[in-house]
Structure 1
């Protein structure tokens, strides 16, 4: 008996059920895993889905499961998928009930979690007179007095979009009023007072209350909600996430065929945020399933298909650094400073230097530094920040899997050299060890676990002993420090957090 599925779909919402229907009709052994709780279940109805306009989401999902029951090769199971990983040419998916399933392909349709601002009274209105998509809910509040809860450029965009449904719009900016002539020209008011509460009557928004005690009558509010992955499976599988945007913190990168950057893993629906809408999710699920079928036929009978998209590390990191003026603090990494502060200056190599905080600090202490990164954006920013110390720093562009700096160094530093893009990290670190001069130090600092503000909180990072073991070092090396160290830190947006660093300091004796 064949115990391997052709495809496991994780998620039984609009995208997952749509994909399962296509796979079922293509006679592919398909398992749909769903633990319920789709994000749009709170909505009164689905807006803009042909043939189902206004239908409650729960009814649509029940009807979809009933349709799938007609296809004997599709199995639906109400259970959570807790982990997934590569297993030979396929994958193994672990389940909350203790079981596991093997599959040739995985389709992630787990949906996203909508995180609107935490304002009293907003949660109970969510999916009704408080909504995130005017195409889904604008018709139901047409010609009524509406508000937009957002700030900056997103407030301008959302407010102008809402003009298709009403002429009575007020932007609620909570003290950060957007300066834009387009709003005034469109007759859209801006109220920058602090919102304290949304008050409802009969389950419908009645008024917006401000901190000064005054109220603004409104019948609906379009809310800037940031989408976050509802499941950690994508991170487990190592797919690439797009840089954070005002709409989504961690959307999965897919190509035109809904393929992620991990061969064999597809994604559909809100997880890749083409457009967070049921109709779009249905379409992407159908497309993803068709691509799954073709990829299976490519394996089985040689059907010609486009090559799997290879992730572009340089593009990814350029986008990462380009999303804001500064990503990191500009300060030296704490563990590096602790190791180096008592050392005599020499020649240093900084791998994955980012915006140059470590390299600039080393140069300020008399070190001659070669600093590398794959991102031109980061290197240009680092060179600009170096000022007069630039004469002591050689910033070099390297994809470390492809090229590596020449020479030997008294100090080789790899600080948090983790990557969302697949990276042969063991090979890179072996080259780092080979670049250490006799008497020099190799300093590797890793995450012991993901920071609390990270999108990869469920990723398991290798331990310090595992990393050192992967270097295959001979007896010319001495372990100075190998193990976890705890500290308190502040995240990129000011969030406090308790961190665990794996610190590895190794000295080459000859």
Structure 2
């Protein structure tokens, strides 16, 4: 790790290879790390890519690697990246084999996993007559009897779009309801039966079989799929993800220059999906590379470039809570209950109160509560849920890095005060300690590791001991409880998971 690369690209699909080519031609020291197994390798060919229409993906990638061999500044390796972390003005890239590389810029071209429904027979047809994009594969099944496997508004959209390739379309909702008025007007029928198998012979779809009734002869199927990050690296680096939508669970947010919300980190291709097509990935990789070169020149010679996009924390959290009517269960956090249920009620401060579960529980136990959050959406929801207890709770809007509730408190609670957007957490927690009255408690509960339902990936959260050490507390404090606790829990969509909480209970003795 003696030298430093101008850019390390993670991922050698269309976006990564395209970016490496541009960087090589710009004479930038570039390392491309690729573990292979791109999501589109199962496809019979790439549809709609100028100069390569119908080329098998593996052939395109091999040709791209051969072109890169011309540029001595580009090094391509088959390797798995286990982690990327900021280090000074650059980054350290950690490899699964124990190696490490330094980079001034990072480009994530790690792609997405396509997750079609798990129905017998669909996997062997995937990438051929079972496909997710009619622009990529519609030509090959034109004028054939086709199915659309989807439900809701997405089924209507996909089926109407497929009319450009065939007039014989049946929507398969697999038991779900769908508004069929537009479909009927377009001559598209709907079958709501439960699909049990896509029966094929010699790689060709013959018929769709159902839990009841006669099979449906079809020759191809357009499938509603959900994309999800193939790699944990984006979450590890703390980039912002777009809210989940029918197409992607966790697409990386990028600006018009393919910059993520973490300075020095770019993303291109399906990882920041807008249009999941090879042509779009090639374009995105090329754009990212030109932006990387210009950002390097800004450091080196002062080339004027637009400032790096800084995420707005309030907008982020308002969007987070606005995604659905309720994010959390409304119950109080278990660790806070364990600590506070035996305490004499007094004045409490709830930092990052969210939808108010903890504040409402404390108020129901006789506490006078100040509850604060950066999201006005969350605060409004919490106030509405408080009912008659609202007279005991003062919901206050604060960005805790900029403003903080006044006064001293017998109990200050910071439950899972983590943020996907930049937050000086140490500063906030030190201010929380200053707000504890003599004899009062500071209760901090953190994730010990990422919940299995989150897109934090393999983020390494600080240990309980590290958090306590960062507070810089003097001898006027005593440790009541510091360490990890395990529990079983349920996620926001009903997912079951095994969690580790780092629990810190500290008393200010004087």
Following superposition of structure 1 onto structure 2, how do residues 62-101 of structure 1 map, counting pairs within 5 Å? 62-101=62-101
> Could you report, residue by residue, the CA deviation over 1:284-326 in whole angstroms, capped at 9, with x for unpaired residues?
0000000000000000100000000001111111121121221
Q: Answer yes or no: is 1:32 the counterpart of 2:32.
A: yes
Q: Answer yes or no: is 1:307 the counterpart of 2:302.
A: no
Task: Say if 2:236 and 2:457, in contact at 8 Å, map to a contact too.
Answer: no
CA distance in 2, matches of 1:193, 1:103: 54
Deviates more, 1:164-173 or 1:352-361: 164-173
Task: Say if 2:180 and 2:190, in contact at 8 Å, map to a contact too.
Answer: no
Q: Answer yes or no: is 1:417 the counterpart of 2:417.
A: yes
CA distance in 1, matches of 2:5, 2:457: 29
Q: Answer yes or no: is 1:9 the counterpart of 2:13.
A: no
CA distance in 2, matches of 1:318, 1:190: 38
5+ residue gaps, structure 1, are none
CA distance in 2, matches of 1:225, 1:296: 38
1:412 deviates by 1.0
The SS at the match of 1:480 is strand
Q: Answer yes or no: is 1:42 the counterpart of 2:42.
A: yes
> Could you report, residue by residue, the CA deviation over 1:26-81 in whole angstroms, capped at 9, with x for unpaired residues?
11111111111010000000011111111100010011111111111111111111
Task: Say if 1:18 and 1:282, in contact at 8 Å, map to a contact too.
Answer: yes
1:4 deviates by 1.0
The SS at the match of 2:53 is coil
CA distance in 2, matches of 1:203, 1:118: 18
Following superposition of structure 1 onto structure 2, how do residues 274-353 of structure 1 map, counting pairs within 5 Å? 274-353=274-353
Task: Say if 2:5 and 2:30, in contact at 8 Å, map to a contact too.
Answer: yes
Deviates more, 1:179-188 or 1:91-100: 179-188
Aligned position for 1:190: 190
Aligned position for 2:366: 366
Q: Answer yes or no: is 1:113 the counterpart of 2:110.
A: no
1:185 deviates by 2.5
1:145 deviates by 1.9
Q: Answer yes or no: is 1:407 the counterpart of 2:390.
A: no
> Could you report, residue by residue, the CA deviation over 1:97-131 in whole angstroms, capped at 9, with x for unpaired residues?
22111111111101111111111111111111111
Task: Say if 2:226 and 2:248, in contact at 8 Å, map to a contact too.
Answer: yes
Following superposition of structure 1 onto structure 2, how do residues 83-482 of structure 1 map, counting pairs within 5 Å? 83-179=83-179, 181-212=181-212, 214-482=214-482
Deviates more, 1:439-448 or 1:146-155: 146-155
Task: Say if 1:441 and 1:506, in contact at 8 Å, map to a contact too.
Answer: yes
Using a 3 Å threshold, how does the CA distance of structure 1 residues 181 and 362 change in structure 2: closer, same or farther? farther
Using a 3 Å threshold, how does the CA distance of structure 1 residues 60 and 483 change in structure 2: closer, same or farther? same
Task: Say if 1:464 and 1:482, in contact at 8 Å, map to a contact too.
Answer: yes
CA distance in 2, matches of 1:350, 1:187: 57
Task: Say if 2:143 and 2:167, in contact at 8 Å, map to a contact too.
Answer: yes
Provide TM-score, normalisation by structure 1.
Answer: 0.97
5+ residue gaps, structure 2, are none
Task: Say if 1:449 and 1:457, in contact at 8 Å, map to a contact too.
Answer: no
- Consecutive aligned runs of 4 or more in structure 1 exceeding 6 Å deviation: none
> Could you report, residue by residue, the CA deviation over 1:131-171 in whole angstroms, capped at 9, with x for unpaired residues?
11111111111222222222222222222222222222222
CA distance in 2, matches of 1:183, 1:343: 62
- Count of matched residue pairs: 510
The SS at the match of 1:164 is coil
CA distance in 1, matches of 2:161, 2:402: 46
1:419 deviates by 1.0
CA distance in 1, matches of 2:215, 2:369: 60
> Could you report, residue by residue, the CA deviation over 1:359-409 in whole angstroms, capped at 9, with x for unpaired residues?
111122222211111112211211221122222221111111121111111
1:22 deviates by 0.6
Deviates more, 1:74-83 or 1:163-172: 163-172
1:180 deviates by 5.1
Provide TM-score, normalisation by structure 2.
Answer: 0.97
Please tell me the root mean square deviation across aligned C-alpha atoms, in Å: 1.4
Task: Say if 1:9 and 1:16, in contact at 8 Å, map to a contact too.
Answer: yes
Deviates more, 1:76-85 or 1:165-174: 165-174
1:181 deviates by 2.9
Using a 3 Å threshold, how does the CA distance of structure 1 residues 156 and 396 change in structure 2: closer, same or farther? farther
